Amino acid sequence: MSNNNSYRTVYAFAREMYPKKKDTYLQYGTAGFRTKATELHHVMYRMGLLAVLRARYKKGVIGVMVTASHNPEADNGVKIIDPRGEMLEEAWESWATKFANVVDEKLEDTINEVIKLFNIDNMNDRVEIVIGKDTRPSSLPLAKAVQDGVLALSGKPIDYGIVTTPQVHYFVVCKNTNRAYGQPTEEGYYRKLINAFLRVRGDKYNKGNYENRLMYDGANGVGAKKVKYLREVLKESLLVEMYNDEIIGSGKLNHLCGADYVKSQQKFPNGVPKEKNTRCCSVDGDADRIVYYYLDDNERFHLLDGDRIATLAASYLKELLQKTGLDLKIGLVQSAYANGASTEYISNKLNISVSCTATGVKHLHRKALTYDIGVYFEANGHGTVVFSNNAKQKLVATARNNSTSADHKEACFKLLDVIDLINETVGDAISDMLLVETILHERGWDVKQWEECYTDLPNKLLKVTVKDRNVVTTTDAERICVTPEGLQDEINTIVSKYKKGRSFVRASGTEDIIRVYAEAATKEDTELLAIEVAQKVYELAGGIGPAPELPN
Ligand code: G16
């Protein structure tokens, strides 16, 4: 690398291989960049460059995941992962946006700006960038563009091929902790999770009403590919029946299936047999979200989403913690999409502290780190549990202390196993599935008993397409709409007509739309409330295409 801060190769590559189209402007959103795959080649190249700068600045390994997660197959995107496994720090998101949008001729200047601003004096360090990609056909060339960006600044790309997003988070943390978190390989990832799962499960696979059989919707994506391997290792301990496993290039990724479809449509996915009273789960296109569901005797659909997983995990961990005799702070973090009934159940029945942040696991994760045991889940099924170093050290010390009672010791060892079964770095569909199965198994519960903990308020999610989604801005963890002026007043008036009504709107950070959330005492009221609010959004925020219509 030259010392005069002149990055000729960077520009030459950009101009020849990944030129930026003149008229595109892209913004780093809820989880990175996301748009049509054809628009992203220059962005990927530039994120390779940015990842190298970030790695040199942080003096650690950075991850780059090429995926558009829950979006349609024709979209793609990129998520940047910081050294501690967290999403890219917000202060650097604006740099990512700047990198994505400057003209090719200004690329070198922008690199120099970052070097100067952050005082990066180790531009010759051969930093490692971990790269993963999902099963989209477009991911292969886009991941190659990331690699070229990394190479253009003399970084070292480590290509993990097709992996889940949470696996990339895991590899990054393993590398940055010198393997203390685990081995930075796929085998290391599976071994850590599965060994812990098998230890906690023991050799009795069915217990009470719990049956060790699960129908699994792989969304025709990487979540299907990875669970095939997992199934072989789990053997009889958990019988995962795989559906929607057409992986590369079938055009079926997330189509009428997968966690986002099931959650937002509140419907049984295509491709999974409609078997009554059977526990089913769906993951999304990069396997960082999971939701559960079942059909009752009347073929009525019942959803157990991220709120249910959060409450199940938090109540279990609280009980286990009590058995250890340790005094540790446990808390639960949700977003505004959490069902009101779940929040009430957590505060009033579980007596666990609960807080609300803006959408995006980066926000929930940060808040969860303020607890010794921080459980966080978005209602869409994205979440995990994080444990403080204080909690881990106390658990290890108590488990090893000869004067600890046998009961306390056993609980400490079990909690340590449960920690190993959880991917703490980010929401992980596979690890979350193993956690849910562990808890249900231990309690001897079937899916109905899990659902009986509390009754969800009927709720509805709608999307409104507008000319410019940035016209909708919000405050108070996205619960209050600031602009367009007057929209919040209109929402308040509409909501006041409905018993137990609640509704909010916000611009999606992953799709070009405004999201509308509504809940109310009855299903009929919820439908009406959602449509009324959506109509106001359409009217005041510049809706395009067909206007939302009230049902007949
Ligand atoms: C990403 C984020 C999630 C967020 C979701 C939807 O998930 O990681 O935290 O809930 O987008 O965000 P929005 O409502 O802004 O579109 P994924 O699974 O798509 O990467």
As annotated, the binding site for Mg(2+) includes 69, 284, 286, 288
Confidence label for 221 from pLDDT (cuts 50, 70 and 90): very high
Assess whether 389 and 469 both reside in one domain.
no
**284 plus 356 within the same structural domain:** no
Q: What pLDDT is stored for residue 552 in this prediction?
A: 67
By residue range, what is the domain housing residue 27?
Answer: 5-162
Question: What's the helix, strand, coil split of the chain in %, to 5?
Answer: 45, 20, 40
The verdict on 82 and 141 lying in the same domain is yes
Residue 298 to residue 50: CA distance in whole angstroms: 54
Q: Which residues are annotated as a binding site?
A: 69, 284, 286, 288, 378-380, 506-510, 515
Residue 545 lies in a domain: no
Instruction: Give, using CA atoms, the residue closest to atom 7 of ligand 1.
Output: 31
Specify if 454 maps to a domain: no
Nearest CA to ligand 1 atom 20: 69
pLDDT at 1: 45
* Ligand 1 contact, 284 CB (< 6 A): yes
Nearest residue (by CA) to ligand 1, atom 3, is: 360
**Lowest-confidence region among 22-26, 397-401, 515-519:** 22-26
- CATH number for the domain spanning 259: value is 3.40.120.10
DSSP 8-class letter at 500: T
Query: Measuring from atom 14 of ligand 1, which residue has the nearest CA?
Result: 508
299 and 321 in a common domain: no
Confidence at 6, pLDDT banded by 50, 70, 90: low
Q: Are strands 502-507 and 514-519 parallel, antiparallel or unpaired?
A: antiparallel
Q: Are residues 294 and 147 in the same domain?
A: no
* 101 within domain boundaries: yes
Using the 3D structure, point to which of 272, 303, 334 is the last residue of a domain: 303
Overall pTM surpassing 0.85 (yes/no):
yes
Tell which atom from ligand 1 comes closest to the C-alpha of 77: 20
Residue 410 lies in a domain: yes
Residues 378 and 248 in one domain: no
Same domain for 72 and 136: yes
List pLDDT tens digits, range 262-314. Answer: 999 999 999 999 999 999 999 999 999 999 999 999 999 999 999 999 999 99
In a domain, 527, yes or no: yes
CATH number at residue 424: 3.40.120
Q: Is the CB of 359 under 6 A from ligand 1?
A: yes
Please indicate, yes or no, whether residues 334 and 385 belong to a single structural domain of this protein.
Answer: yes
Let me know whether 33 and 149 are in one domain: yes
Q: How far is the CA of 382 from the centre of ligand 1 (A)?
A: 8
Q: Ligand 1 center to residue 127 CA distance, Å?
A: 29
Q: Which sequence positions are flagged as catalytic?
A: 69
Residues 344 and 421 in one domain: yes
Whether residue 152 sits in one domain with residue 60: yes
pLDDT tens digits for range 180-200: 999 999 999 999 999 999 999
Q: Strands, DSSP E only, in 232-352?
A: 239-243, 280-283, 290-295, 301-304, 330-335
Is the minimum distance from the CB of 75 to ligand 1 under 6 angstroms? no
Which is it for strands 290-295 and 301-304: parallel, antiparallel or unpaired? Answer: antiparallel
Domain count, the chain: 4
Task: Specify whether 375 is located in the same domain as 336.
Answer: yes
